[in-house]
């Protein structure tokens, strides 16, 4: 697939009278791929940290003031379920085989 894309790009370069060489095109594409990969890693790290903070906050709330998430005490059970679902989805993703 990648060879097909580079072959197509090479043909386009020839038709348009040259311009950038195929190596320059590949270098440019590689730089973009590296930048995107780093951006994805940064975002994944931020998401992981936010989930950790959410988990810590939930533990504090349940330990110090559990009625905030308890419907019987005029708390928000829906919020509690949404937090549980968000944390459970992360655990499922982490436990999936690659």
Neighbouring CB atoms inside 10 A of 96's CB total 7
Task: State the average pLDDT over residues 69-98.
Answer: 82
Distances (CA, A) of 63 to 9, 59, 85, 91, 98: 60, 6, 19, 22, 35
**59-83, pLDDT tens digit by residue?**
999 999 999 988 888 889 899 999 9
- The residue whose two tokens read 């499922």 is 92
Give me the chain's average pLDDT, please. Answer: 81
* Domain coverage including residue 70: 2-95
**Cβ contact 49:43 at 8 Å:** no
Tally of domains within the chain = 1
């Amino acid at each position: 697939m990648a060879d097909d894309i580079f072959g197509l790009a090479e043909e386009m370069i020839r038709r348009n009278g040259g311009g950038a060489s195929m190596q320059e095109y590949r270098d440019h594409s590689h730089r973009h791929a590296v930048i995107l990969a780093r951006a994805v890693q940064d975002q994944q790290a931020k998401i992981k940290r936010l989930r950790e903070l959410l988990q810590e906050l939930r533990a504090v709330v349940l330990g110090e003031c559990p009625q905030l998430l308890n419907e019987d005490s005029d708390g928000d059970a829906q919020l509690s379920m949404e937090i549980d679902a968000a944390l459970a989805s992360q655990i499922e993703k982490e436990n999936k085989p690659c």
